């Protein structure tokens, strides 16, 4: 049975309509993210980038300080806090109407980002698997929680990932996670199939082709295809040349039911959403 997806997510009492898909801009406060155009390492750069994304139409800003590229080094929690918390704080202060997502799998970082710095959403690439305290924290904070599927961790996830049926196995994992989260009192859950996280290129395109099957979960779907290696390796180009490919695959994702696009290039994603929404008759 396919469940009806929620039309809204609740951001501290503000209902955000998902009838028309939303765009999340990426702010990486890291020195080693795979796409150098998304790295911001001082307060001025962060504020300029946030302003540009908001002016281009970003609905959410996703701030993270732990690189999740394949083979990325682990960093201590204090280093992640140093990178992330000041960035969340300064964006929240400079743009008080902005909706900020904190990209972390550590409950300690999530708590401080939400309670002390002004974040509104927690985006967890481990779906709660990396920190057993996360689900209880999300319930306590009563914030939307993005759970992404990842096999292994950033250091190991691309070591020959194997699935019998990649979509069915991810859906089963989401089913188990959402039952557990709902039992813990988590209300607003968004699912992300995790393109490139413990999947090879063939797996990624299979997920994209079958993205509509994820609607069976009855939850909003976020996709992160922006400048991923499935694009630039397939086209034999560099990440910096992969904007056109990103827009093409984002269009496919929207046609197959994506509710949120997580992107490096906000303007292009907003235009893609507008055009596909016209195709789907979701705009006046």
The catalytic residue positions are 228, 262
Contacts of 281 (CB under 8 A, 6+ apart): none
Contacts of 20 (CB under 8 A, 6+ apart): 273, 277, 282, 283
Residues facing residue 124 across a β-bridge: 147
Q: Where are the alpha helices (DSSP H) in the chain?
A: 43-56, 77-94, 107-115, 134-141, 166-183, 201-209, 229-235, 243-255, 266-279
Residues facing residue 61 across a β-bridge: 25, 100
Q: Give the 3-state secondary structure of residue 123.
A: strand
Q: What is the dihedral of CA 33, 63, 173, 273, to 10 degrees?
A: -90
CA–CA distance, 71 with 267 (Å, rounded to integer): 30
Contacts of 177 (CB under 8 A, 6+ apart): 127, 128, 147
CA–CA distance, 50 with 264 (Å, rounded to integer): 11
CA–CA distance, 94 with 238 (Å, rounded to integer): 34
| Measured CA distances, 26 to 174, 206, 224 (Å) | 24, 25, 10
């Amino acid at each position: 049975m396919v469940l009806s997806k929620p039309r809204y997510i609740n951001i501290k009492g503000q209902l955000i309509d998902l009838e028309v898909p939303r765009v999340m801009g990426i702010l990486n406060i890291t020195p080693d993210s795979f796409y150098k155009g998304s790295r911001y390492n001082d307060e001025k750069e962060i504020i300029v980038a946030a302003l540009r994304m908001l002016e281009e139409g970003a609905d959410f800003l996703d701030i993270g300080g732990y690189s999740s590229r394949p083979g990325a080094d682990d960093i201590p929690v204090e280093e992640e806090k140093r990178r992330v918390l000041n960035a969340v704080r300064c964006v929240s202060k400079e743009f008080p109407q902005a909706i900020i997502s904190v990209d972390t799998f550590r409950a300690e970082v999530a708590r401080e980002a939400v309670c002390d710095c002004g974040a509104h959403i927690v985006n967890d690439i481990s779906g709660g698997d990396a920190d057993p305290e996360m689900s209880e924290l999300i319930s306590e904070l009563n914030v939307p929680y993005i759970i992404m599927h990842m096999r292994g961790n950033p250091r190991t996830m691309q070591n020959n990932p194997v699935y019998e049926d990649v979509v069915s196995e991810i859906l089963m994992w989401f089913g188990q996670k959402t039952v557990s989260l709902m039992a813990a009192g988590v209300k607003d859950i968004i699912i992300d199939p995790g393109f490139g996280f413990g999947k090879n290129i063939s797996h990624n395109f299979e997920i994209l082709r079958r993205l509509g099957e994820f609607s069976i979960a009855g939850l909003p779907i976020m996709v992160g295809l922006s400048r991923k290696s499935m694009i630039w390796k397939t086209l034999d180009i560099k990440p910096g040349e992969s904007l056109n490919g990103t827009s093409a695959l984002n269009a496919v994702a929207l046609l197959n039911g994506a509710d949120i696009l997580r992107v490096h290039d906000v303007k292009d994603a907003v235009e893609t959403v507008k055009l596909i929404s016209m195709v789907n008759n979701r705009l006046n």
